[in-house]
Amino acid sequence: MDLDLRPHEACGIVGVFGEPEAARLLYVGLHSLQHRGQESAGIATTTGDRTFNHRGMGLVSEVFDPAIIGTLPGDRGIGHVRYSTAGSSSLRNAQPFTAQSRHGPLSVGHNGNLVNTRSLRAELEREGALFQSSVDSEIILHLMARSTASRVEDQIVEALAQVEGAYSIVVLADGKVIGARDPRGFRPLVLGRTPRGSAIASESCALDMVGAGLVREIDPGEIVILEEDGVRSLKPFPSVRPAACVFEMIYFARPDSVFSGVSVYEIRKELGREIARQNPVPADMVVPMPDSGTYAAIGYAQESGIPFEMAVIRNHYVGRTFIQPASEERSVLVRLKHNPIRSFLEGKRVIIIDDSIVRGTTSRERIRILRSIGVREVHMRISCPPHRHPCHYGIDFPSPGELIASTHSVEEIREFLNLDSLAYLSLERMLRVIPGGGERFCDACFSGDYPVTPEAGLGKWVIEAEVSEGREPAERRADRRVFAHRDRTGPERRKSHA
Amino acid sequence: MDLDLRPHEACGIVGVFGEPEAARLLYVGLHSLQHRGQESAGIATTTGDRTFNHRGMGLVSEVFDPAIIGTLPGDRGIGHVRYSTAGSSSLRNAQPFTAQSRHGPLSVGHNGNLVNTRSLRAELEREGALFQSSVDSEIILHLMARSTASRVEDQIVEALAQVEGAYSIVVLADGKVIGARDPRGFRPLVLGRTPRGSAIASESCALDMVGAGLVREIDPGEIVILEEDGVRSLKPFPSVRPAACVFEMIYFARPDSVFSGVSVYEIRKELGREIARQNPVPADMVVPMPDSGTYAAIGYAQESGIPFEMAVIRNHYVGRTFIQPASEERSVLVRLKHNPIRSFLEGKRVIIIDDSIVRGTTSRERIRILRSIGVREVHMRISCPPHRHPCHYGIDFPSPGELIASTHSVEEIREFLNLDSLAYLSLERMLRVIPGGGERFCDACFSGDYPVTPEAGLGKWVIEAEVSEGREPAERRADRRVFAHRDRTGPERRKSHA
Amino acid sequence: MDLDLRPHEACGIVGVFGEPEAARLLYVGLHSLQHRGQESAGIATTTGDRTFNHRGMGLVSEVFDPAIIGTLPGDRGIGHVRYSTAGSSSLRNAQPFTAQSRHGPLSVGHNGNLVNTRSLRAELEREGALFQSSVDSEIILHLMARSTASRVEDQIVEALAQVEGAYSIVVLADGKVIGARDPRGFRPLVLGRTPRGSAIASESCALDMVGAGLVREIDPGEIVILEEDGVRSLKPFPSVRPAACVFEMIYFARPDSVFSGVSVYEIRKELGREIARQNPVPADMVVPMPDSGTYAAIGYAQESGIPFEMAVIRNHYVGRTFIQPASEERSVLVRLKHNPIRSFLEGKRVIIIDDSIVRGTTSRERIRILRSIGVREVHMRISCPPHRHPCHYGIDFPSPGELIASTHSVEEIREFLNLDSLAYLSLERMLRVIPGGGERFCDACFSGDYPVTPEAGLGKWVIEAEVSEGREPAERRADRRVFAHRDRTGPERRKSHA
Amino acid sequence: MDLDLRPHEACGIVGVFGEPEAARLLYVGLHSLQHRGQESAGIATTTGDRTFNHRGMGLVSEVFDPAIIGTLPGDRGIGHVRYSTAGSSSLRNAQPFTAQSRHGPLSVGHNGNLVNTRSLRAELEREGALFQSSVDSEIILHLMARSTASRVEDQIVEALAQVEGAYSIVVLADGKVIGARDPRGFRPLVLGRTPRGSAIASESCALDMVGAGLVREIDPGEIVILEEDGVRSLKPFPSVRPAACVFEMIYFARPDSVFSGVSVYEIRKELGREIARQNPVPADMVVPMPDSGTYAAIGYAQESGIPFEMAVIRNHYVGRTFIQPASEERSVLVRLKHNPIRSFLEGKRVIIIDDSIVRGTTSRERIRILRSIGVREVHMRISCPPHRHPCHYGIDFPSPGELIASTHSVEEIREFLNLDSLAYLSLERMLRVIPGGGERFCDACFSGDYPVTPEAGLGKWVIEAEVSEGREPAERRADRRVFAHRDRTGPERRKSHA
């Protein structure tokens, strides 16, 4: 369904050091990062001499319960949530990825996408390495295990020196919790201070939950070591132009997360304000497509002075489990999820605000429903530029062929959607709103301007999870896999990477 | 947890006649009524000569899947969702309640609460009746089965003539779908027209989903018969003053439902406008407690000119399955569910809008969190009067002892919550906003002015489901029950009634 | 599969009075009666003022766990296991069947099959009764609820005076545990003495388990009341010729159960001895088809002097969950369940002993496998006469059309099975072996001589569980039902009765 | 419970080459090897260019269903079942163990126990290897992955040259199915011919099921390659004295399996005959403790002329799920599982035949029950010598401290069990009965005479599964693990090895 084809964040990570019952805090932190991944969840903790871990398929609340949290003792640990797409569901790929090495047990959770896995895997396999998953975390573990350095931070530096691409990682090893962010800082990572220790997380909203104050963002290329003596920082890599993901700001990150001292909520409102300035239109009300367009709509309304109205009602009970209607009845599902209030909208001129148009088919259906209940004019404003290019750094976009904007002009999209007017926020204006703007962010999905070029293929063997049929119990699905010999590239490939 | 102690609607009902694959429509309709009950769901259909039914514990999406919908053939049927509280969970009480009688199979779904069940059960038992549930539907079925009338509508009239209290029911019997609403019209019921037939539902939002146009509300005391020849209406009972539940308007009904031609969304906004007029206060922003206060907050902001800001972020992933933290850590759960944006709120004067304060403990925690992140002034406005009295007509309120407003003055509550100011909308102003106002509504939960007096006790034997311990599989819980000899009254009692 | 088409016992029942933690004893007792029913299990107990019950689909070990047993307090109670066939699986039909009546809560567990349910249901429905299951227990409860007698035993006498057919029942009501057996004593029922109280059960093996000594069989037509003062006996019905089920002796009852002072083990051995006398044949070994033919084979071997050899190995891990092979591969499943030892059997003359040939297809496959591994001669001896007639009293036989012996002569069966010789034990000789023999037993399934004639049909409405598809979770299946208008008779009908 | 403390076989393996729908055959084969392991099951298949695998916790019938079998295409593959003890349950340790290597995907299933894993793991870790399980299979995979040989059989030879101890393995790699048996042949492995290809399995009973004729046992130290051109054999290792596990013959292997042309059934009967000759005693009957003593009892009865009677009835419904009674009620569980027939045994002199006495507590309870029902004399005969020593080669015995025979004399055991007489078959007589006898078998568990000495400890880090609490869902348990730093030896250690 188009409804499920919105871009997917890869993963969320969290680490805690020095807090009794660390697992409980990690559990809470993962809950607040659930929007970054719903496929699997996992926690690894250590008491120093013993390492514990639990992973499972599903939401944090499905994977963990009090009994399981109780089996994860220790005052330090890391947690991970992973995204869900149909094809790559496998317990083997759940993280934190843990293995036993010469250095003892190592656990890694990874958010992002490495772009030189092909050559790295080939090289590691040539040296006799065995791979049991398709996640980049495993590659990082292999590289660490091969290091002869005695300190875990040096093992990590050695490992990361060999990888390219996007990564924010948390590592649990040798009694330390370590966070690292790639030199361009593609994916976010923040540092916090807890009452008795410290914490790291993908977003500051998770720090709020674990009772940590936000200290700062971890710098691109920085490695922070959470240990008994406090927090240490390393910057072992040469400095390059940063390229933080702008899509986090406009789409993925939770509105209560803060970057550069500004909340995502404010950024999104400002994006709405900006497009109100760029593309004003007379109307009776500004209506968000909930929940994705809500904050930009508040901004648009404030800037334009047109009333903000939540006249399309979202049903939060409709989830992935809904019985798929026959294609001619798609309308039912679309409406069940987003029902416009006929008595309030009839005869009105409305500006619909959303944060993206992906394939366009769902948006078209929504506008058809609006017209059918008698809305007089339907204008649409999108709070960012058109998405036209795949992401190589950890976001799971539909393939370019499925992105309507990569093959259609704005006017063609307007016509397809049967809108009275349609406008996207321009790239320049969008970057002007984002704190740090064009200097610090990657906008490749809009501009096609990629900071790092990925390898041409993924190498000799792709390990990939098999699509499993509809209603199979999770434990059954757990371990079915396919080892497929292939050599391909493009956006599909990234589905099997975290 | 206080978080779960918000008032609970009893049930939602839906009926469809004359549409192929009625079960699929009922399934969709129940999805849109899910807010009225999350404990159990059920559908009964008929092909004329055979009657099918399926019920289960859980959400509509958990109880049904395509295979099950496929086993429910027929072009007519009824559906039901039931609310969830800890103590009364039992498959036996799931509805539609179906039994075999002299008239053939009878199925009934009920929303509301009868007030003379004590004497009715005693009388029926005296005549040899067996009871297998604690739901009022079963009493109605017994009364119908005892009728010697040949037409199902006459059996229903005979049955309903004996019951008192609140009921909106759907009946599937003799190939007809019948809806009935008690003479005071406590609980809502609307009639719609589908492309090939007709439909009834608790709220008009369900009609939208089954592709039905809203024809009108079913009148208090009216019985509508959906049959081959169309829709027939009976009004067999003497007319009394209507007493529709005002709480539906301000709290329960979906915002996209329409009553008396006005959407619930507009009513709630208007309640917000009204309290802005009644209790204005200077502030930097109007912030709803999501999602319950959102629509009134929009109204308050529009009326006052103070900006509407969604500065408290709700996490929809936090559900009933969350691991309950130790009591000293309640704050974690409160904040996980509703996280305020520190960077945006710091130093600000805010007006928090909500639709109720129940026990007050959660609100207090939320305000404590707001203060802890540096909010300068916290004002609170509630879009209805204080809840002080139990409901006998189908709403599951906490007991009066748990309702803070039944034992504390507004000023005491303000102090308990540590607010700069607190105001509730007055009863008079509230009724002024509701279309039809004081003439047509029951406001007993605010005023204590009950339209119908319930019997003193529930009779000799209460059949009641046993509380089951945490992690027991649903199928295990299905059928454990307690038959308890007791005689009691008060709001707890209603937990075992639908 | 033919393998699953063996006759099914209807049910097993057990009752305990005066033992602390009665539920634990009932649980153990049901375990030992599991062979009498694997579809559902249930226990009802009482503490005097409160009645508890739990039922579920599946084996005793699946339905109960320590937590559930812990929710069933009291020193008295009853338990029930029900058989499993594909078509009638429904939680509604699980027993003990419990309802609330004028006399308070009543629980009944039933083993057998009433033959006048048609007229009873019609009469009860005419009086306004509602039926919610298709089990005979519910009819008995209705009849009890209609009684105006004040003592539960009198209510039972009134109820049983109206029913005809086969029943052994346990009732929990008014703090008493009551057992009753129909005047012909079709189904077994025994009385035992526990250290502190008393017990009743379908078979004496259950008494062994609950720590009870066998006192005696309950007489046909007898009602025993287990109460504070001890055990009381009523014989309110006129005496008729007894007709205990001979099939219990030769097929159903556990070998460690005792009837008339003789163990079933000894009876089955003696049946084997008898056919060795009736149809001797020279051979190298006597081989049972495990486990059904084992005891008769020991008897045959002892009588004939030919060595007993367990040369066909049964795999107990192969259960109902086995993936059904394509029909041409039935052989795989047959062999997986019963594998003959090639190296030991090659070139030998063997006498195969079994207790029945149902459709003949599985037996044929087994004999084909024996021939394929080089067995020289295959003789078969069946320890009872050919099954040719349906049972109306609680055994679920395949329909006559599926019973090979009802349409084929012994010689035709021998030829179909490709045997060197085949013999069944004659009716006369069989009855000679059974203690009490022709005087006390029903042999209608062999002779067609029915002690009681069943009604022609089952009445206006049959309530029947829908067949549910393969892998649906138990809780989903729980409550789907069909009310079907039909009028039919014959063995299929009994599938929906316990 | 003592009942669960019987020795456990480690694993069962099977491989098929050249048969369409290989997964179906492997599934059937695993069913027939289920007695060798009930903890987990797995199958890996290949279509040549793609490798598929599915593993899960539980019985073969629980792990697989038709849909899953359908996702495992290919005409070749391997299967594995693993034993179950409380402490080491983990999906990670389920087999076949599959990983991606320089040579492509490798899958290995292992039965046995390597004795030099400590130094192997240490060496591999030193070279940078990551370990993700505690199974020996993973070590073998690592060694293969490090080989620079191009042919898979050469990689295997290289790998196996480095390991010591007991192994029978199946490997799926490079489109071939390869079986290998360690030079002493501790664990069994047989070769068969299917209609279109070939097969290998732990026991010949599995060949029967996959439709394969038994060709021969694979020799100790032999490697067989199943490939397109047929079956090739390598014997790359120097010859040593064979040491096949005698315990397979007397205890583990299925009675329908054949070794050296003799069925296990016959061997066990002959063990019974032999002890009848060694320790005759006058009695009324020979009674097996079912099912373990059945075959030896038949032999004893045939040799002694005393009647064979199955007078102790085993309840197959009592499994691991039984609710554990309080310790004073152990008797209930013992009796529920094995109930003696009072009416038949009273006043009799019986000889009980069993194949082992482990802790003695269960046997003592059984004999107490026999005495309590009036058995006059109880003699016991065990069909092998007393178990006094741990096994280092793949059998999971209770620790020596729990083996009654390692700390008590036979007379002391007789007294503890309250027997009239007790005798074990002597080691010499036992070996005389086993085909090949003392020349070819390992009898270390009886004699303490170990063919290979294990390393003193398991090295720096043991990866071990955490004990999971009782009722946790399987998918939850799937991946919890402990990395424990420890250095220990003894029989407990082997629990974490397959």
State the pLDDT confidence band at C469, using cuts at 50, 70 and 90. Answer: very low
Using CA atoms, how far apart are residues B139 and B129, in angstroms rounded to an integer?
10
CA distance B320 to chain A (A): 9
pLDDT of residue D492: 30
D441 confidence band (pLDDT: 50, 70, 90) = very high
CB atoms within 10 A of CB A406: 17
Residue B380 within a domain: yes
Residues of B in contact with C71 (CB under 8 A): 466, 468-469, 480
3-state secondary structure of B258: strand
Question: Which tens digits make up the pLDDT trace of D349-374?
Answer: 999 999 999 889 999 999 999 999 99
pLDDT at C213 exceeding the cut of 60:
yes
The residues in B 19-78 lying below 8 A from A, measured between CB atoms, are: 24, 27-28, 31-32, 34-35, 59-62, 64-66, 69
Assess whether pLDDT exceeds 70 at residue C217.
Answer: yes
CB count in 10 Å sphere of residue B396:
22
Instruction: Give the integer Cα–Cα distance in Å for D474 and D464.
Output: 17
Per-residue pLDDT at B481 = 35
How many residue pairs bridge chain C and chain D with CB atoms within 8 Å of each other? 143
Summarised one tens digit per residue, pLDDT across range B54-70 is: 999 889 998 998 889 99
Mean pLDDT of B226-241: 96
The active-site residue, picked from D11, D205, D442, D445, is D11
Residues of chain D numbered 93-152 and touching chain A (CB < 8 Å): 94, 98-102, 104-106, 125-132, 138, 141-142, 145-146
pLDDT of residue A89: 53
Residue C278 domain-assigned (yes or no): yes
CA distances from B110 to B162, B390, C298 (A): 16, 20, 63
* CB spacing of C61 vs D317 below 8 angstroms: yes
Q: Chains A and B: how many Cβ contacts under 8 Å?
A: 145
Res C468 pLDDT > 60? no
Provide the number of structural domains found in chain D. Answer: 2
Partner-chain contact B263 A62, CB within 8 Å? no
So what's the pLDDT on residue A468?
Answer: 26
Set of chain D residues whose Cβ sits within 8 Å of the Cβ of C65: 323, 471
Q: How far apart are CA A2 and CA A330, in angstroms?
A: 10
Cβ distance D315 to C31 less than 8 Å, yes or no, reads yes
Q: What local confidence, expressed as pLDDT, does residue C329 receive?
A: 63
Tell me which chains share at least 3 CB pairs under 8 Å with chain C: B, D
C93 shares its domain with C220: yes
Residue window 332-371, chain B: list those with CB within 8 Å of chain A: 332, 335-336, 339-344
DSSP-assigned states of every residue in B345-385: HTT-EEEEEES--SSSHHHHHHHHHHHHTT-SEEEEEESSP
pLDDT at C93: 83
**Do residues B381 and B268 touch, judged by C-beta distance below 8 A?**
no
Per-residue pLDDT tens over the stretch D480-496: 333 333 222 222 323 33
Q: Which token pair is D178?
A: 């390869």
- Distance, in Å, from the CA atom of C303 to the CA atom of D345, rounded to the nearest integer, reads 20
**Cβ contact C61–D258 (<8 Å):** no
CB contact under 8 A, B255 and A60: no
Residues A220 and A270 in one domain: no
Residue of A nearest to B325 (CA): A24
**CATH code where residue B332 lies:** 3.40.50.2020
| Interface predicted TM-score of the whole assembly (ipTM), two decimals | 0.90
Q: Please, which residues bridge with residue D14 across strands? A: D79, D201
C479 vs B55, B466, B485: nearest CB: B55
Q: Chain A residues with CB inside 8 Å of D71's CB?
A: 466, 468-469, 480
Banded pLDDT at A334 (limits 50, 70, 90):
confident
The answer to whether the CB atoms of D315 and C265 lie below 8 A apart is no
Give the mean pLDDT of chain A: 87
Query: Amino acid letter at C186?
Result: F
Lowest mean pLDDT among B232-246, C242-256, D86-100: D86-100
The mean of the pLDDT values for chain B is 87
Which of D418, D437, D456 is the last residue before a domain boundary? Answer: D437
Q: Is A389 helix (H, G, I), strand (E, B) or coil?
A: coil
- Residue C462 within any structural domain of the chain: no
Beta bridge partners of C465: C481
Give the domain-ending residue among C404, C421, C437. C437
pLDDT above 70 covers a percentage of chain C that reads 86
Q: Would you call A262 and B343 a contact, using CB atoms and an 8 Å cutoff?
A: yes
From chain C residues 272-331, the ones with a CB under 8 A of any chain B CB are none
Last-in-domain residue among D412, D437, D462:
D437
d(CA B164, CA C403): 58
Mean pLDDT of chain D: 87
Confidence of residue D4 (pLDDT cuts 50, 70, 90): very low
Whether residue C291 has a cis bond before it, omega within 30° of 0? yes
With an 8 Å Cβ cutoff, is C486 touching chain B?
Answer: no
Please list every residue in chain D whose beta carbon sits closer than 8 Å to the beta carbon of residue C302: 307
Contact criterion met (CB < 8 Å) for A51 and D105 = no
Q: Closest Cα of chain B to A29: distance in Å?
A: 9
Q: Would you say residue A495 lies in a domain?
A: no
> Which residue of D258, D324, D341 is in closest CB contact with C265?
D341
C-alpha to C-alpha distances, A384 to A242, A247, A387, A388, A445, nearest whole angstrom: 21, 9, 9, 12, 11
Q: Select from C91, C100, C130 the Cβ nearest to the Cβ of B99.
A: C130
Q: Report whether pLDDT(A458) > 70.
A: no
Same domain? D227 vs D324:
no
- Pair D207, D128 in one domain: yes
Examine residue A80 and state whether it is found in any structural domain, yes or no.
yes
Interchain pair B265, A35: CB under 8 A: no
pLDDT interval class at B319 (50, 70, 90): low
State pLDDT tens for residues A163-185. Answer: 999 999 999 999 999 999 999 99
Average pLDDT over every residue of C395-415: 91
In this structure, is residue A352 part of a structural domain? yes
Nearest by CB to C265, from D62, D344, D471: name it: D344
Query: Is D458 contained in some domain?
Result: no
Contact at CB, C255 and D295, closer than 8 angstroms: no
Query: Nearest CA of chain C to the CA of B114: how many Å?
Result: 19
Give the catalytic positions of B in this structure: 11
Q: Residue A438: CB partners within 8 Å, gap ≥ 6?
A: A431
Please tell me the least confidently modeled range out of A222-226, A315-319, C43-47, D418-422.
Answer: A315-319
pLDDT for res A6 = 66
| C188 shares its domain with C53 | yes
Residue A53: its chain D contacts at CB < 8 A?
A: 479-481
- Chain B residue with Cα closest to C52: B482
Whether residue C289 sits in one domain with residue C179? no
Angstrom distances, CA of residue D489 to CA of B249, C224, D397, D492: 72, 62, 14, 7
Closest partner residue to B482 (CB to CB) among C52, C102, C479 is: C52
Mutate which of D24, D26, D43, D208 to test chain C, going by most C C-beta atoms within 10 A? D208
Whether B478 shows a pLDDT value over 60: the answer reads no
Q: Do C145 and B126 touch (CB under 8 A)?
A: no
What residues contact residue D84 under an 8 Å CB cut-off, 6+ apart? D8, D37, D38, D39, D40
Q: Return the residue of C nearest to B145 by Cα.
A: C128
A183 in helix, strand or coil? coil
Are D60 and C317 an interchain contact pair (Cβ–Cβ within 8 Å)? yes
Cβ–Cβ of D476/A146 closer than 8 Å?
no
Residue A210, pLDDT above cutoff 80: yes
Cβ within 8 Å, pair D130-A52? no
Q: Assess whether C168 and C292 both reside in one domain.
A: no
- For B252-344, list the strands marked E by DSSP: 258-259, 262-263, 285-288, 312-314, 338-340
C272 lies in the same domain as C375 = yes
Query: Is pLDDT at D463 greater than 60 in this prediction?
Result: no
Which is more confidently placed, B459 or D386?
A: D386
Q: Chain A: list its partners (3+ Cβ pairs within 8 Å).
A: B, D
Do both A339 and A216 map to the same domain?
A: no
Interface residue of A130, A132, A147 to substitute, partner D, most D CBs within 10 Å = A130
What share of chain D has pLDDT > 70, as a percent?
Answer: 86
Distance (Å, whole) CA D12 – CA B82? 50
Residue B177 reports pLDDT greater than 60:
yes
Same structural domain, C305 and C371: yes
User: What part of B 452-471 touches A (C-beta under 8 Å)?
Assistant: 471
Identify the chains in contact with B, defined as 3+ C-beta pairs within 8 A.
A, C
Its domain, for residue D291, covers 263-437
Verify whether the Cβ–Cβ distance A307 to B302 is below 8 Å. Answer: yes
Cβ neighbors of C133 (< 8 A, separation 6 or more) are: C90, C92, C93, C97, C463
Mutate to test the interface with A, among B14, B16, B24, B28 (most CBs of A within 10 A): B28
Q: List, for residues C167-211, the tens digit of each pLDDT value.
A: 999 999 999 999 999 999 999 999 999 999 999 999 999 999 999
Question: Is residue B293 assigned to a domain?
Answer: yes
More reliable by pLDDT, A99 or B494: A99
pLDDT given at position C316: 85
Q: Are residues B150 and B276 in the same domain?
A: no
The subunits that touch chain D, with at least 3 C-beta pairs less than 8 Å apart, are: A, C
User: Average pLDDT, stretch B456-476?
Assistant: 34
Mean pLDDT of the residues in chain C: 87
Report the residue from A67, A302, A313 with minimal CB separation from B256: A313
Size of interface B-C (CB pairs under 8 A): 173
Identify the CATH number of the domain in which residue A177 sits.
3.60.20.10
Closest CA relative to residue B172, chosen from B129, B229, B227, B102: B227
D404 and D284 in one domain?
Answer: yes
